[in-house]
Structure 1
């Protein structure tokens, strides 16, 4: 560690050498070695990633990640606020750049992270903010994919009998709900819920997912027979009497353990992407749900639904970080999606009708 990093570690009163419990995960050609100071955190990580354990194998790169369970970090350091993406409110992240990397702080939770080529460190109430911890582990894999040339997308994805299909939407548009509706098909396999990485290879668009399980609002669970039991009986009773508009807007996330609900064979890490559904519908629209093929090169308004900033944790191979949540250029998405059938979904937000229309289209 650099002297700057050592100095701040000292101010934060942490010791990565206390991380004597270990968990390893291999994804693609990278191994993530997670070192924790509590056994409970390792057990929780093992359980969360258990469906991906059979995918372990050979690897080209190996990263160490240290996680220190502690009280919220409240030291008065010179943090800079990270701007939110367009349309997002409130501050979530702040950062300090030093030689060798970047410190990041989650403003609401007191979690602090160090991100660099030679050191990856998380500290604070890890167990209480387990979703953040999962995101930090996955961020290392996301960096690896982008440094390898993949393009980040804000999309869910699955494979239907080997046919890769991605689903993108503007915020709150229902991409996860649509993906889970399609996952009900017998020949479907889960690829990714919220982040997808694409590239052109040998004339095909290859899509790779990340091991982040679907994290959805209660309305998605309540109206899906396979997922309803994730809610307790009392929650089902309370939620079932809410107006659908209020249920749609309710922010109360639940993890969907795909392997437990659908089976171990329902997960794969990548696919050849053949179709992209862009949800440009609205729950208050009274028009019939429609699905129409479009030329994505002529619809920059819809590229915005799939474009995603790499975020404050991303750095290139040289260790250079972004200074704002800027998006990749539209042309990168147009080029990466070459050969993919892109469909605009408009009208009323009717998930069952969309699944019916899409399955009819690909079976024709």
Structure 2
């Protein structure tokens, strides 16, 4: 691109001009409305299917923000990028970024995707059709940005709702947050969120989820009757031969589209904030037990749900600082915290936590 790369607006306009996005869809995140323009028809169709229940059929609402999506061959920007170092030295460096006067250019080093954000503009470019999930995450990140700018705390968690109660489910990566949430859907609950929640810092209601469909591993699909259709007959045989430990470690992921697996109107991305379940269990033969704590007593466990904002968040308030554990404790101060100890037992956890949604007590 022959352009002044120090000028964010010129770089943005060059991308949009070279790969014009003319396919439009409008997505409603509760009352937050996003116009999405896509240059690839196949990708536009895939996104419309993914967000189907949240597509505005007859767009008349005021739009809160716009995202442009540009499927393109590998791009090149001549910046001296700053590396985003991972928290663990054993993990790969995924992102690097350049800060310009009016915006930020972020490069995903592994997938060669670029994000251009700032001054109210949102653009993603690169092999978007191949990396649909990154496009989905970017669209969701615009809602997250809006909520954080309005004082919400970002949490790493799944969530479900039923009978006017909402339950946030969190734990270490790989603990089974999505698996437990989906077992609860099979037991009658509705889905709120897969991986991110936005919690009001005042402790008021409701909390919000994002519009990300669950990403599940083969073991989750194999052991839940509502999800088995995701696997082919051959895959069911192959995965059925694996040991539980091997299945647990299998990294391959499937999209579990909620309306296809559970029926329409079961994905409700907001709920009253009633309680938090924290998975502190282990893969052993001990009986599962639930300990009910206050937020202050559960201080150590609540760190599992804290999520630091990433490079896709550019604060509207220049004086913004990341929230602390005390902010999360304050937001949850009058909510029961259910800590799941002992061995992994999805059936028992589902039974106890569904009882809470139905009655207000786990019966423990």
> Structure 2-normalised TM-score?
0.90
Structure 1 residues 46 and 91: alpha-carbon distance in aligned structure 2, compared to 1, 3 A threshold: same
- Let me know the Cα RMSD of the aligned residues: 2.5
Could you tell me which residue of structure 2 aligns to residue 109 of structure 1?
111
Is the partner of 2:64 in helix, strand or coil?
strand
Contact 1:158 1:165 in 2 (8 A): yes
Distance 1:63 1:16 in 2: 22
Q: Which runs of 4+ in 1 moved over 3 A?
A: 6-10, 54-61, 85-88, 318-322
2:193 is the alignment partner of 1:198: no
The CA deviation at 1:295 is 2.2
Could you tell me which residue of structure 2 aligns to residue 304 of structure 1?
303
2:342 maps to which of 321, 341, 347? 347
Contact 2:178 2:194 in 1 (8 A): yes
Structure 1 residues 295 and 281: alpha-carbon distance in aligned structure 2, compared to 1, 3 A threshold: same
Contact 1:154 1:194 in 2 (8 A): yes
Structure 1 residues 8 and 54: alpha-carbon distance in aligned structure 2, compared to 1, 3 A threshold: closer
> Can you list the C-alpha shifts for 1:128-149, whole angstroms capped at 9, x where unaligned?
0000000011111110111111
1:131 maps to which of 130, 133, 143? 133
Could you tell me which residue of structure 1 aligns to residue 74 of structure 2?
72
Could you tell me which residue of structure 2 aligns to residue 163 of structure 1?
165
Contact 1:293 1:343 in 2 (8 A): yes
- Of residues 296-305 and 57-66 in structure 1, the stretch that sits farther from structure 2 once superposed is 57-66
- Of residues 271-280 and 52-61 in structure 1, the stretch that sits farther from structure 2 once superposed is 52-61
2:226 is the alignment partner of 1:223: no
- Of residues 54-63 and 168-177 in structure 1, the stretch that sits farther from structure 2 once superposed is 54-63
> Can you list the C-alpha shifts for 1:210-249, whole angstroms capped at 9, x where unaligned?
1101011111101001101101111111111112111101
Aligned length: 356
1:329 maps to which of 306, 324, 330? 324
Contact 2:113 2:127 in 1 (8 A): yes
The CA deviation at 1:13 is 6.2
Could you tell me which residue of structure 1 aligns to residue 236 of structure 2?
236
Could you tell me which residue of structure 1 aligns to residue 259 of structure 2?
259
Contact 2:72 2:128 in 1 (8 A): yes
Distance 1:75 1:237 in 2: 47
Unaligned runs of 5+ in 2: none
Distance 2:61 2:327 in 1: 28
Contact 2:187 2:354 in 1 (8 A): no
Distance 1:343 1:16 in 2: 52
Could you tell me which residue of structure 1 aligns to residue 209 of structure 2?
209
Structure that is richer in helix per residue? 1
> Can you list the C-alpha shifts for 1:94-124, whole angstroms capped at 9, x where unaligned?
1111111111111111111101133211111
> Structure 1-normalised TM-score?
0.90
Distance 1:240 1:108 in 2: 32
